Amino acid sequence: MMGRTLLLAAAMAGALAVLGPYLDGVQIDDHSTEVQQSRDLEDAQRAAQARKRFEDAAQRICGPQSVWREVSQNVIRCVSKRGIVGRATWPVL
């Protein structure tokens, strides 16, 4: 039994030694496009979550009865329902 196992292992090693150079160029599966699509989807989800957190924080800063506008990147200005613009702008981090 032990001799048969050693013979089989030697045969497999010999087959790999002979066929190894021919198998180098063979690609079994290429999933690189799927991986990139998955990364792009995750990035889009993270961006949407970050935007939602920004909008929620801006609303908390201005209060429930006010509307806010983004003046520049990450800087908001609160506007009341009567149209009075707040005197200050706040950075939202």
- The average confidence (pLDDT) of the chain is 80
Least Cα distance to 78 among 63, 68, 93 occurs for 68
Q: Please determine, for residue 89, whether its predicted confidence score (pLDDT) is greater than 60.
A: no
19: amino acid identity, one letter:
L
User: pLDDT value at position 80?
Assistant: 78
Name 63's Cβ contacts closer than 8 Å, sequence gap at least 6.
Answer: 78
Angstrom distance (rounded) from CA 89 to CA 77:
5
Whole-number Cα distances in Å, 56 to 22, 25, 53, 62: 59, 53, 5, 10
Q: Please determine, for residue 85, whether its predicted confidence score (pLDDT) is greater than 80.
A: no
User: pLDDT value at position 23?
Assistant: 67
User: pLDDT value at position 27?
Assistant: 60
Are 43 and 57 in contact by the 8 Å Cβ rule? The answer is no
Q: Please determine, for residue 29, whether its predicted confidence score (pLDDT) is greater than 90.
A: no
Q: How far is CA 66 from the centre of its chain?
A: 33
Percent of the chain with pLDDT over 70: 74
Q: Please determine, for residue 63, whether its predicted confidence score (pLDDT) is greater than 60.
A: yes
